[in-house]
Structure 1
Amino acid sequence: MPKPALHTPAPDFTAPVIGGSYKTETTLTLSHLRGQKVVLYFYPKDDTPGCTKQACALRDAWSQITKKALLFGISTDPLKRHAKFIEKYTLPFPLIADPDHTIVNAYGVWVEKTLYGKTYMGTERSTFIISETGHITAILEKIKPDEHLEQVLAALAS
């Protein structure tokens, strides 16, 4: 599926979440967060080098981010794996589980990838900034883990 366009309503979803203010496994519905700016960052896999670097950079800038928005990480990993990732790296933000690919498909980030000549489906590292009214105000695509934090902070500042 294609990515939703800028200034259109963010695709709504209800999914399992853990971490941050969600101390135990629960569900989150995106539309219930209206009235608050939201950052959804999609990443391929918990506890891999690039994803860990990206998550730890967000963790280290947590006080800056929380002044401007709620932040949620999303991958196709199950909640148990998310809980281990959160605990191992003391991540202060919640992670959403999307093992059936509903959310990654709705946001157009479940894409064909190539590694060492092999083609497979996986999550494209992308971030969506969603306004208080539920509209997409920024889309950061094909992110490099080292550059993600500054791109998020710049998008939140504009």
Structure 2
Amino acid sequence: MTTTLTAGDTAPAFTLQDANGDDVSLGDYRGRRVIVYFYPKAATPGCTTQACDFRDNLARFTADGFAVLGISPDAPTALARFTDKQELTFPLLSDQDHSVAEAYGAWGEKKNYGKTYEGLIRSTVVVDAQGVVELAQYNVRAKGHVAKLRRDLHLD
């Protein structure tokens, strides 16, 4: 059973490679609020919709004091292609062994067309400036998630 995070939990620390192969750590964002969102696979329809929605709202999130990090099991090369094609303006991070997704409760049992398997659960965790979970949402929908997140954070 996957253990999910809740408000008040300490956000698990991590360091992952971005699309350029550079290391990015959650600690790099200490002092800022960070939206960490987990998505299953770069360049798929739902993940593209969600990433472009974050891209299109990034200036608003930044103005409200947030950074955005996207995490998937994709290799950095796949993230680089996705970033370039969709003109994404925030870091996408590679969690190929899904250890970070597991630590955040975003990896677990899924069901699709009657089959049960382990995989990435589309999730978003908001981490406050001190590294504490402010909000954790699991099984989110790709379409409309950013607008709902903004409402849930009382930004709109």
TM range (shorter): over 0.9
Q: Is the 8 A contact 1:53 1:145 kept in 2?
A: yes
- The one-letter code sitting in structure 1 at the alignment partner of 2:143 is D
Q: Is the 8 A contact 2:15 2:24 kept in 1?
A: yes
Deviation at 1:15, TM superposition (A): 1.1
Deviation at 1:32, TM superposition (A): 2.8
Question: May I ask how many residue pairs the two structures share in their alignment?
Answer: 153
Q: Which of 3, 17, 39 is equivalent to 2:35?
A: 39
Q: Would you say 1:111 and 2:108 are equivalent positions? A: yes
Runs (4 or more) in structure 1 with deviation over 6 Å come to: none
Matched residues in 2 for 1:40 and 1:94: separation?
10
Matched residues in 1 for 2:8 and 2:30: separation?
15
Identity %: 37
Q: Which aligned pairs between 1:18-33 and structure 2 lie closer than 5 A?
A: 18=19, 24-33=20-29
For structure 1, the residue ranges without an aligned partner over 5 or more in a row are 19-23
Matched position secondary structure for 1:35:
coil
For structure 2, the residue ranges without an aligned partner over 5 or more in a row are none
Deviation at 1:119, TM superposition (A): 1.6
- The one-letter code sitting in structure 2 at the alignment partner of 1:52 is T
Matched residues in 1 for 2:118 and 2:131: separation?
28
Q: Is the 8 A contact 1:129 1:156 kept in 2?
A: no
- The one-letter code sitting in structure 1 at the alignment partner of 2:67 is L
Matched residues in 1 for 2:153 and 2:32: separation?
12
Cα deviation 1:68-97 (Å, max 9, x = unaligned): 200000001110000000111111111010
Give the CA RMSD over aligned residues: 1.3
Matched residues in 1 for 2:139 and 2:26: separation?
23
Matched position secondary structure for 2:35:
strand
